[in-house]
Amino acid sequence: MSDVTDASRVNRVHFIPVDILTSLSGQDVSRDSHAAPATPQASPPLRLFSTPSPTNSLSTVSTSGPLTPPPNSVSDPNSPTSVPGIAIHRSLAAPTMIPWDVTRDPSDEGTIPDLKNIGDKAAICNNGHPLKTIRIRLPAIGVAVDVHGARNRVTIRDVLRGIYAELQNAPRDDIWSSLPKDFKDAVNRTHKQRSPERDDWLRYIDFLGHNVNFQGLRPIEGNSKEWDVLFGPATRS
């Protein structure tokens, strides 16, 4: 159940999920005494895990049906950011113009129709030079992914595959056991909806609830190599 992505690779870092008790749509648990802090910086000094992922391996799942992109969507030039000298490809900048449901493998034909045209473009540049490594943080699940580019640069395809692959991973037992019960109950409900027969293990994608629309990357202030991934509610058809 793996897919080789040239020579690109990812490493993982775990931290306390941001607003984990309210990250699932429809859950009102703001009064819970175990509510997570609003930002990782405000978290108590708990464990920080750094775990290398298997080199060249990304998880995949089957998907169905194409998404319809907006016209003239993702071929625009780079966008400046709040970090001096740093520009991100406009297709990745929040609010993104990529129509991507993150439950679907971005490598599958039809998931992101324009990916074949823009996938190999540099994701982020520093004064015109593509970055070779970036850290993508997924605050909703408490995981950061270090993405190392295959061809001396991190591409748009590397970024999307890295996000998708991490969401397909299962949380470690020690991470799962440290989470509040209300949050775990909500995740279990999402897992049951996704896999009613429980024939698939619980994955990080279940942490997102209904917030499975990719909404782009946002730079962490003053840091050219760390970016938060934003998710939003699924679009109702």
Residue recorded with tokens 């049951």: 192
Question: For 73-100, what is each residue's pLDDT tens digit?
Answer: 333 346 656 667 888 999 999 988 788 9
154, two tokens = 């991190």
pTM of the model: 0.70
Q: What is the C-alpha to C-alpha distance for residues 201 and 222, in angstroms, rounded to an integer?
A: 38
Residue ranges in the chain whose pLDDT is less than 50: 1-7, 19-77
- Please tell me the predicted confidence (pLDDT) of residue 36: 32
Domain extents in the chain:
2-67+75-232
pLDDT, mean over the chain: 72
Q: What is the C-alpha to C-alpha distance for residues 10 and 54, in angstroms, rounded to an integer?
A: 8
Question: For 112-141, what is each residue's pLDDT tens digit?
Answer: 988 999 999 999 998 889 999 999 999 888
Sheet holding 9-14, edge to edge: 49-52, 9-14, 143-148, 133-138, 226-232, 213-219
Residue type, 30: S
CA-closest candidate to residue 155, choices 108, 107, 111: 107
CA-closest candidate to residue 165, choices 30, 38, 3: 3
- Please tell me the predicted confidence (pLDDT) of residue 146: 92
Residue recorded with tokens 């015109």: 128
DSSP code per residue over 136-193: EEETTTTEEEEEE-SSSS-BHHHHHHHHHHHHTSPPPHHHHHTS-HHHHHHHHHHHHH
